[in-house]
């Protein structure tokens, strides 16, 4: 144990010129080196500073300032009339209102309430268990969403009504 202590805490001769100082000396009362003085009293801290009177100088009347600004004439709002897109059950060629490109639309089909009711009806009728999947595979039972092929802007949807 003493050998371990000797390794951790070697004996240093502080009288030799190459020895380190034993501890850094610091004034405990003033560790940062700032002048020591007491803080002000509460009354002195919240007191309103006295107003120092200065000799009054007669103010000169202000010169009128003329500011010339040109106000832009209000422009009437630009109205862009977008023709109703004829979107059907199949991809169709339209001009995209967002990017102005004329391309064939990209379609995705999503299930709607008609799809869910058809699947529920098939389950109630008692066909085989897999028959309720059929409405989800039929495009005529799902809503077709049209998107622009270039900028992927939603253009509209086609909801099959089933009545004609």
**Does 124 map to a domain?**
yes
- Kind plus residue range of the DSSP H or E element containing 119: helix 113-125
**Does 94 map to a domain?**
yes
**Does 65 map to a domain?**
no
**Does 1 map to a domain?**
no
Instruction: Tell how far CA 33 is from the center of its chain.
Output: 47
Which residue in 114, 80, 86 sits closest to 100, CA to CA? 80
**Does 20 map to a domain?**
no
**Does 70 map to a domain?**
no
136 CB-near residues (< 8 Å, 6+ apart): 111, 115, 119, 142
Residue 23: predicted pLDDT: 56
Q: How many CB atoms are closer than 10 A to CB 146?
A: 22
Residue 161: predicted pLDDT: 74
Residue 164: predicted pLDDT: 39
**Does 69 map to a domain?**
no
* Torsion angle of C-alpha atoms 127, 130, 133, 134, degrees rounded to 10: -60
What six digits make up the tokens of 14?
Answer: 């502080």
Separation CA 102–CA 150 (nearest Å): 10
- One digit per residue, pLDDT tens: the chain, 164 residues? 677 777 677 676 666 666 565 555 555 555 566 666 777 787 777 877 766 666 666 667 777 777 666 666 676 765 544 556 678 888 888 888 888 888 899 999 899 888 888 888 888 887 677 778 888 888 888 889 999 988 988 888 888 775 43
Q: How many CB atoms are closer than 10 A to CB 142?
A: 20
Residue 58: predicted pLDDT: 65
Residue 138: predicted pLDDT: 84
Note the pTM of the prediction, 2 decimals: 0.45
| Vertex 142: Cα angle to 127 and 149 (nearest 5) | 145
Q: How many domains does the chain have?
A: 1
What six digits make up the tokens of 59?
Answer: 């103010």
Domain that includes residue 125, residue range: 89-159
What six digits make up the tokens of 85?
Answer: 């897109």
Instruction: Tell how far CA 145 is from the center of its chain.
Output: 29
């Amino acid at each position: 144990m003493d050998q371990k202590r000797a390794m951790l805490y070697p004996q240093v001769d502080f009288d030799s010129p190459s020895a380190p100082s034993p501890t850094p000396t610091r004034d405990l009362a003033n560790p940062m080196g700032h002048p020591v003085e007491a803080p002000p009293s509460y009354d002195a801290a919240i007191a309103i500073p006295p107003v120092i009177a200065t000799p009054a100088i007669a103010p000169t009347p202000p010169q009128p300032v003329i500011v010339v600004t040109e106000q832009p004439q209000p422009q009437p709002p630009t109205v862009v009339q977008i023709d109703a897109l004829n979107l059907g059950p199949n991809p169709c060629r339209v001009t995209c209102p967002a990017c102005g490109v004329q391309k064939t639309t990209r379609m995705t089909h999503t299930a709607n309430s008609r799809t869910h009711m058809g699947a529920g009806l098939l389950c109630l009728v008692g066909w085989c268990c897999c028959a309720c999947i059929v409405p989800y595979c039929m495009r005529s039972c799902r809503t077709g969403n049209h998107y622009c092929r270039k900028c992927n802007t939603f253009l509209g949807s086609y909801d099959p009504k089933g009545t004609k």
